[in-house]
Amino acid sequence: MILTVTLNTALDITYRVRSLRPHASHRITEVTERPGGKGLNVARVLARLGHEVTVTGFVGGATGRVVQEQLTGTPGVVDALVPVTGPTRRTIAVVDEHTGDTTQLNEPGPTVTSAEWSAFQEAYEDLLAAASAVALCGSLPPGVPVGAYAGLVRSARAAGVPVLLDTSGEALRRGVAARPDVIKPNADELAELTGSHEPSRATQDARRRGARTVVASLGEAGLLAVTPEGRWRATPPARLHGNPTGAGDAAVAGLLSGLVEELPWPDRLARAAALSAASVVAPVAGEFDRGVYEELLGRVAVTGEATAA
């Protein structure tokens, strides 16, 4: 079982409009709702790849009930979310059909009490016992300690479970110091962590700060991985237009599935890059176009070399 942690779960609402214009009224052409937050998006992609996935994190209020009701109908995903008093947040994505651009509006999330945080930590420790890998994903809701991910990384390492961390800011800075197996920042998050805008230098710096492996998402330039086994870059053959909201989450799913299947790093990166690109043409985050994915998988260019033994 792969475990994904989404401390700040959400109900993702996507609106499609013909053209988004400031200071104007808009007629919405399509509305979709999905359980959201980065870890839930990762879980849905993993389930479509054939993996058993358990999701945990916080859920509360009427919005939280909608999230859990929709998770019930998601094949391959087991709900182990922990209840809180405050309401689960909503996120709004507005897709401009004319340009393909997406505007994102994110609520902050519920305020988590110390008792609720303690209850989550106990549940997490129990879930680790059956996990083959764990992904810690997304922002921290109010009330959760800024060093929360560092503690969760240490718990996973103590249990012998490989852990991938995908967050940003101070939560990432502290989490890296706990020595996660993989971090997956985008270019901006990597620059914020290291102070360097040069990806090769920044990934090396992030490893010196504690991450065993760094896989950086570089937009159109693909993925750059610096690992103990070597360094590689994976580049999709062409840019695809659509909704990029869940592209990074699809890449995380590709990396996690490759990890538990023990694929060589070039194959993991090719899968992650192809999934990321195929998610852009899907209507909402947490999905991917299987035909596009299968067509791209053999065309992703992976360059680099293994470290000499």
Distance in angstroms (rounded) separating the CA atoms of residues 101 and 228: 37
CA-nearest of 107, 54, 109 to 84 is 109
- From CA 128, how far away is CA 115, in angstroms rounded? 20
State the angle between helix axes of 247-260 and 38-48 in degrees (0 to 180), rounded to the nearest 10.
50
Helices (H) and strands (E) in the chain, counts: 10, 15
Show which residues are catalytic: 249
Which contacts (CB < 8 Å, 24+ apart) does range 295-301 have?
Answer: 296/236, 296/237, 297/270, 297/271, 299/236, 299/237, 300/222, 300/234, 300/235, 300/236, 300/237, 300/269, 300/270, 300/273, 300/274, 301/234, 301/235, 301/237
- Contact predicate 190/216, CB 8 Å: yes
Q: What distance in Å separates the CA atoms of residue 165 and residue 157, rounded to the nearest whole number?
A: 12
Residue 207 DSSP symbol: H
Neighbours of 33 (CB within 10 A): 14
Are the CB atoms for 221 and 235 separated by under 8 Å?
yes
- Strands 2-6 and 10-17, by their bridges, are unpaired
Burial of 218 (0-12, 13-18, 19+ CB in 10 A): middle
